[in-house]
Structures are given as structure tokens and as C-alpha cells.
């Protein structure tokens, strides 16, 4: 049979696969209509470069006959790689094999949480055992976190995976060939593309070869669209999608850092300092020329500035927050307060330590006092996490007149705890470590999510 005939049969099989997936998962339509299919004899199975599905025709025909659900699952497995943009992130990790395994575990965990017959597979003891282990140690199973966890295991000879066990894990979770990820290269843009009328992005992908950055951005937007579609369906249907909605929210969330939050809560106030912007050099030089050493004016020592004078920093000292994490919070806090460009010389900052109740309230009046606080910090508490006592305490301080100009509250935490339900009339931000697991998915919608 000629290659063209094999490709025709293969394309019909993929069309049947996509139709079956679409019938069960209408919310996946934006992703199912993107990838083209091409026969590729350099692989023994199937893979994707985020632009096409590249497959071995014999493998596809055989699998379609023997295990049709496996082919459905493989296609969805590849789409999740694209939506989470795994092929664009391998450069962040030194060990390519660990990254590939982490990506496969991450998407298989999502697929195993989904309740659709067309992608069903029996879970093995090995798979279940590793899911339990990862959910205990990593909690949120993204590819990045899984890979860092595997790297930590490999760095310690006592915990490093034996070659045999590593191979078993790869065989257990691997469904597609990641070799095409290495072939991703930036392509030259069509010089006339900017002048073309706006058309559907999918048509643009068909008309010209999009470069690497465009494809990555396209898949990110596709993930956002599917996340939105999932949010609009009923609870009975959304439960069938398992953890997909949660991981899409985590993946598509725009990360905002604490320094941007400070700008948001800054206030305008006159501060005594030299203001070179209001200084008139013409009059100054004229006075020096006329009188020898007597300028006509002095520099204005008052100027309006946007800075922070009063806010609250809460630190989670519960048992779920490790000492290392708390120290990270402290270092960041010290770095913020040391930056004189952000604060007035006289400030009023409450640093509240809390687990399931208020443990300490340290009031800082000068940025330099933060150094002393950080050096002598000791964890108080270490019990369960409840964020609500801090907000009740702040409400009492405001009633007593001790916080008259409160603009914002930053709560450093790992996110695992009970959040307040009622929104605040000041800006509230929960600050999470960027590279560690957290409970940010439980954060109320009215609060701001920040990263350090």
C-alpha cells in the first residue's frame, strides 16, 4: 500500500477519533479543530509539534482496530500537552527525560480524573501508587512541580529512582512521541501578515506557518477559551471533566507580583525632600551672575509623591507553612521595606503573625526596623490555618482608630486554610510562592493573587 493511501486511511481514523471526542466533550471543540494530521515514518507511534499530529500509519491502523479508546486518549493527551504548552518549557529543566516524564504524568493525571468512556483505561497499581505519592508530596500535579520533585529525588542517591523503575514509569505514562518537540524552531513571519484583514486564527495557521511564539500564544488563548466554556456548563457536566478546569485556571492565571500591588495602594502626600523638578536653573544662574554667590531661589523641599504609608502584612505561621517558606516571606518583606522609593520615611505597618489565631502584631514605623524584626523572628503558633482572624483583628484596629488610612493588606501564605467570605473595602492580596504548591484555588474571587 502506498504512503498516500496509508495517509488517507490514517486521516479518516483521526477524523473518527475527533468526532467521538467532540460528541462527549463539546467544550474541547476549540482545540480539536486545530491540529492537522500528517503521516510521518520517522516515528513508530504518534506525536505532535503543536502544529500537526505526526503519526506512523501502521501504528494508527493497528491501534484503532485493537484499542480504539487508546487512540482517543492519545489524541487528547497530545492536546493537553499543547494547551499547557509543555513543548515550549523544556529549556527550564536540565534533564530532558525527567521533564518528558513529568509532562506525561501531569496530563495523564487529568485524563484519569475525567469521567468519559471514550478515553477510559484501567489504572494500574504503579500508577495509583505514584499518584498517591505525588499528591501527598507535591499536591498540585503540574509538570513543573512534578519535574522539580523528580529532580530532588535524583539529587539524593538514597531517593534516586533505579533505572528499572524509571523505565517502568515512562512506559506507564507515555502515550506519544516527544521527539517532535525538539524540532520546534522559529519560522520567519510573513512580511505582509500585519497588513492582512483580521480573520480567524485557525485560518491563519492554515494559510501560513506560524512561528513558535505565535503558536504558543495561540494555545494559551485556546486554553483560556476552553476554561471559560467549562465554567459555563452545569455542575453535572463539569464534574465529568475532572481536574481539567482547575489546572486550566492555574495555567492561564496571569501572575502579578507584589511590587505592582504596592503601586496600586500608594497614596499621594507631600514629603519633605529636595525636588529638582521644580527648580528653575535660569533664575538660579541669573542670581549667581548678578550677586556672585547668591542664587535668587532655593530648591523646593516639598514635593508630592506616590508612596505607601499605612498597610498590613500578615504572615502565615501555621504547620502547613514550612520554615523555609516563612523565611522566604520575611526576606521578601525586608526587601520591600528597605526600598525607600516605595515608602514614606515615617510609615505605619502592622506585621501580624497568625495560624488559626493572632500570635503577634509587630508595628513598624521605619523601614530600618524591619531588619531587626527579620533577624529576631521566631515562629509563633504552628497550628492549623485560618485566615479570618487577621481580618477580624484589622477590623477592630480600624474601629479603634489605629488604622486610619489603611490602603491594603498582603497575606503571605501557602494558601491552605479557611478564607474569609466577605470582601474588604481595602485591597487584599494573598501572596504565594511562585515555585511551590499552594492552595490558591480556594482563594475568594474578590481578593488579588500575587507571587513572590
Instruction: Specify the pLDDT at position 5.
Output: 84
- Specify the pTM: 0.63
Say which range, 159-168, 340-349, 441-450, has the weakest mean pLDDT: 340-349
291: in domain: no
Does residue 198 share a domain with residue 73? yes
| Residue 421 burial (C-beta neighbours within 10 Å; 0-12, 13-18, 19+) | exposed
Does residue 323 share a domain with residue 376? yes
Q: Which residues are CB-neighbours of 241 under 8 A, at least 6 positions away?
A: 25, 27, 114, 230
pLDDT digits (tens, 9 = 90+) for 314-343: 988 887 676 677 777 777 666 666 654 545
Q: What percentage of the chain exceeds 90 in pLDDT? A: 40
Torsional class of 134: left (φ above 0), alpha (ψ -120 to 50), beta (otherwise): alpha
The C-alpha cell of 75 is what? 489524541
Domain count within the chain: 2
Q: Which residues pair with 427 in a beta bridge?
A: 408
Are the C-beta atoms of residues 309 and 267 closer than 8 Å to each other? yes
> 3-7, 248-252, 297-301, 389-393: which has the highest mean pLDDT?
389-393
The C-alpha cell of 146 is what? 512534578
329: in domain: yes
Higher pLDDT, 246 or 16: 16
Does residue 43 share a domain with residue 192? yes
- Sequence-separated contacts (24+) of 199-204 with Cβ below 8 Å: 202/33, 202/34
333: in domain: yes
Does residue 40 share a domain with residue 158? yes
Q: Where are any strands of DSSP class E within 229-295?
A: 256-257, 267-272
Are the C-beta atoms of residues 309 and 268 closer than 8 Å to each other? no
Confidence class of residue 290 from pLDDT cuts 50, 70 and 90? Answer: low
Does residue 90 share a domain with residue 119? yes
Does residue 197 share a domain with residue 312? no
Biggest CA–CA distance in the chain, Å, is 102
The CA distance from 341 to 235, in Å, is 48
Distance of CA 405 to the CA centre of its chain: 32
Give the number of other Cβ atoms within 10 Å of residue 249's Cβ: 16
Does residue 91 share a domain with residue 17? yes
Q: 241 pLDDT exceeds 80?
A: yes
Q: What is the CATH number of the domain that holds 423?
A: 3.40.50.410
Are the C-beta atoms of residues 17 and 75 closer than 8 Å to each other? yes
Does residue 237 share a domain with residue 109? yes
Got the DSSP string for 116-149?
-GGG--PPPHHHHHHHHHHHHHTSS--HHHHHHH
- Of 252, 284, 317, which residue sits at a domain end? 252
Does residue 232 share a domain with residue 338? no
Are the C-beta atoms of residues 400 and 423 closer than 8 Å to each other? no
Domain that holds residue 405: 257-274+305-451
Does residue 192 share a domain with residue 264? no
266: in domain: yes
57: in domain: yes
Confidence class of residue 372 from pLDDT cuts 50, 70 and 90? Answer: confident
242: in domain: yes
Give the CA angle between residues 350, 447, 371 to the nearest 5°.
Answer: 30
CA 107 → CA 111, 163, 219, 282, 429, distances in Å?
Answer: 6, 23, 15, 68, 30
Instruction: Specify the pLDDT at position 382.
Output: 60
280: in domain: no
Does residue 431 share a domain with residue 355? yes
CA 253 → CA 224, 227, 440, 451, distances in Å?
Answer: 9, 11, 11, 11
pLDDT digits (tens, 9 = 90+) for 117-173: 999 999 999 999 999 999 888 878 999 989 999 999 999 999 999 999 999 999 999
287: in domain: no
Does residue 327 share a domain with residue 238? no
Got the DSSP string for 359-372?
EEEEEESSTTHHHH
Amino acid at each position: 500500500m502506498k504512503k498516500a493511501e496509508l495517509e488517507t486511511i490514517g486521516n479518516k481514523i483521526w477524523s473518527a477519533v475527533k468526532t467521538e471526542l467532540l460528541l462527549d466533550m463539546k467544550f474541547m471543540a476549540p482545540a480539536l479543530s486545530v491540529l492537522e494530521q500528517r503521516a510521518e515514518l520517522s516515528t513508530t507511534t504518534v506525536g505532535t509539534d503543536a502544529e500537526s499530529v505526526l503519526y506512523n500509519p501502521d501504528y494508527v491502523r493497528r491501534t484503532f482496530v485493537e484499542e480504539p479508546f487508546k487512540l482517543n486518549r492519545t489524541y487528547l493527551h497530545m492536546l493537553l500537552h499543547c494547551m499547557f504548552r509543555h513543548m515550549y518549557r523544556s529549556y527550564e529543566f536540565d534533564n530532558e527525560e525527567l521533564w518528558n516524564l513529568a509532562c506525561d504524568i501531569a496530563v495523564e493525571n487529568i485524563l484519569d480524573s475525567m469521567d468519559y468512556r471514550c478515553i477510559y483505561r484501567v489504572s494500574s497499581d504503579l500508577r495509583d501508587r505514584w499518584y498517591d505519592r505525588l499528591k501527598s508530596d507535591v499536591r498540585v500535579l503540574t509538570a513543573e512541580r512534578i519535574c522539580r520533585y523528580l529532580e530532588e529525588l535524583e539529587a539524593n542517591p538514597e531517593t534516586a529512582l533505579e533505572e528499572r523503575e524509571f523505565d517502568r514509569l515512562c512506559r506507564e505514562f507515555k502515550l506519544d512521541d516527544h521527539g517532535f518537540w525538539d524540532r520546534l524552531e522559529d519560522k520567519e513571519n510573513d512580511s505582509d501578515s500585519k497588513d492582512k484583514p483580521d480573520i480567524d486564527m485557525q485560518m491563519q495557521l492554515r494559510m501560513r506557518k506560524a512561528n513558535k511564539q505565535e503558536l504558543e500564544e495561540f494555545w494559551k488563548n485556546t486554553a483560556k477559551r476552553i476554561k471559560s466554556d467549562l465554567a459555563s456548563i452545569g455542575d453535572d457536566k463539569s464534574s465529568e471533566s475532572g481536574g481539567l478546569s482547575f489546572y486550566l485556571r492555574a495555567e492561564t492565571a496571569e501572575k502579578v507580583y507584589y511590587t505592582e500591588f504596592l503601586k496600586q495602594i500608594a497614596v499621594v502626600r507631600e514629603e519633605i525632600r529636595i525636588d529638582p523638578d521644580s527648580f528653575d536653573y535660569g533664575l538660579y544662574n541669573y542670581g549667581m551672575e548678578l550677586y556672585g554667590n547668591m542664587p535668587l531661589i532655593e530648591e523646593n523641599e516639598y514635593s508630592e509623591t506616590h508612596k505607601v504609608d499605612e498597610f498590613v502584612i500578615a504572615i502565615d505561621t501555621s504547620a502547613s507553612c514550612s520554615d523555609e517558606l516563612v523565611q522566604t516571606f520575611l526576606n521578601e518583606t525586608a526587601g520591600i521595606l528597605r526600598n525607600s522609593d516605595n515608602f514614606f520615611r515615617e510609615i505605619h505597618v502592622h506585621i501580624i503573625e497568625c495560624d488559626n489565631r493572632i500570635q503577634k502584631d509587630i508595628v513598624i514605623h521605619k523601614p530600618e526596623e524591619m531588619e531587626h524584626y527579620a533577624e529576631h523572628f521566631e515562629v509563633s503558633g504552628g497550628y492549623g490555618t485560618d485566615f479570618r482572624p487577621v481580618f477580624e483583628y484589622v477590623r477592630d484596629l480600624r474601629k479603634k482608630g489605629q488604622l486610619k488610612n489603611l490602603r491594603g493588606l498582603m497575606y503571605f501564605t501557602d494558601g491552605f486554610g479557611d478564607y474569609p467570605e466577605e470582601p474588604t473595602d481595602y485591597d487584599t492580596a494573598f501572596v504565594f510562592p511562585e515555585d511551590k504548591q499552594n492552595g490558591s484555588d480556594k482563594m475568594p474571587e474578590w481578593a488579588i493573587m500575587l507571587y513572590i
